[in-house]
Each structure stands twice: as structure tokens, then as C-alpha cells.
Structure 1
């Protein structure tokens, strides 16, 4: 499937990678944009000791970051524009304890200036994905993409 402006899947992913690379915090935390298209977004994060809280679980703020960023990318792809999260709700379902976290998001509705997206976050341990958080958010357009991020 192609985005609203008929951008190819590869070109859209390349644009997403450029935007993701421009996020200093995403680079700092070690997140990776694994998929970006009008079908959805996937962000991966290898769990390291410094991302855990005092009980050994991944800190809730890390899960919130993943939800926020995945929702914004998914909602922005549906809006075909520069976008930011204007609201989100996050449910922590179980402690995240695995080696890798995967956030998968997709837009469920898109208008002219805002979209709504959903995100599931999985903890991967010994190759098994377990749902650890679910989020929904509203994404607002802030402008149109230019040739450079």
C-alpha cells in the first residue's frame, strides 16, 4: 500500500529513517525504526540494565517513550505530514522483562488535521513475544514534510 501522496514503500521508509535518526533521544536510548509504512510502524529497543527500574522490570517511562514515538510515526504516516502526539493513554499490562521490546502501531482513523493510532508493546524473552503494554493516542499535524527532515 502507498501513502496518500503515492510515495513508494521504500521511499517512505527512507524518509521515516531520516526522521528517526534526527531524534537525539531515540539515538541516545538505542531505539531502532524497523518498519514504517502506511500499514504501520515497528520500533525495537534492546533492553539494557540502565533501562530497568529497581525491581528489574523495564521502566514505565521507557514503555511510554515507545508508545509515544510509535503512535506519532503511525499517525503521521496516515496524515502524510509532520505530526506530534497531542494525547495518549497507556495501559501497563504486565512487567516488561525480556531482552527486546517491540512497539507496533497503526493508525485507526485519519482526518485532515489529526489521526488516532493504537500501539501494542511486546516484551521478547527467549524468542516469545508477550504483550506488556497497550496505548492509544491522538496525533496532530504540525506541517507538511519537506525534502529534508
Structure 2
């Protein structure tokens, strides 16, 4: 459970520790830019290794950014360990640029699940363009016995 008395800096540091423990996140260079209760901003630098054959960021990487941001938002809203129960993504345009920015927020949080939404932008020449929108349900893990 996340304590309410944790400072914003400590909360962000805690979130970054979790991200550092995710091998795939480290592989693609994901960064947790902001993190607070029910909100998250995750960045993924664009490199050739995350592009598909037409030069766009691979849809799986865009999906990863949305999924992970949704989980951070929902997990922090619930204040416990969580997993993604389900999510849906709509790709709006090819992601062509220098960085993905996934901004997620918890829309409704109950006792064991949180419904969250996420906008994924691609940053190119200093301008953000919306490239995908996602919504998901984040579920609390049962306590270990």
C-alpha cells in the first residue's frame, strides 16, 4: 500500500525503481517523467530498434507505452500491486518523431480495480501529435498468502 505521506519526489523515485526492474522497459529506454496518485507520464525515445519496416514506431511499442502508463496510473490510484486486466487502443496516426509521450490518468477507482485512460503523443520538432488513445482496467493483485 502506498502511504499518503510520501513526498512527490519520493513517489516519483519509487515509480522509477519499478520501471528500472522491468527488463523490456530498460531495453527500449523508457523513462518515467511524472508520477502522482492516479496520473503518469511515460516517455519512450524513438530509435531505429523500435520502428517497423515503414519507419513508424511499431504499434507494439506504442501499445506498451499506453499499457505501462495505464498501469502506473491505476496502481497509484489503488495504492497496491496491480496488473492490467484489459485494455483497448485506437491508433490514430503513424508515430513518426523523436519520442513517445504516454499520459495516463485514473478515471474511476473502486476497491480492487481502476478504469484509466491514456493519450499517446509523438514528439517531432518540438510539437506533440496525438497518435493513439487507450483505455484499460487495472486490477489489484490478491495479497500473497
Give the TM-score, by structure 2 length.
0.93
- Aligned residue number for residue 53 of structure 2: 54
Distance 1:107 1:4 in 2: 18
Q: Which runs of 5+ in 1 are unaligned?
A: 145-149
- Aligned residue number for residue 87 of structure 2: 88
CA contact (8 A) 1:5 1:80 kept: no
Distance 1:134 1:24 in 2: 25
- Aligned residue number for residue 147 of structure 1: none
Distance 2:116 2:5 in 1: 21
Residue-by-residue CA offset, 1:22-55 (whole Å, 9 max, x unaligned)? 1111001111111111151011111001111111
- Aligned residue number for residue 75 of structure 2: 76
CA contact (8 A) 1:103 1:119 kept: yes
| Displacement of 1:6 | 3.3
Give the TM-score, by structure 1 length.
0.91
Q: Which runs of 5+ in 2 are unaligned?
A: none
Distance 1:39 1:18, change over 3 A: same
- RMSD of the alignment, in Å? 1.4
| Displacement of 1:95 | 0.4
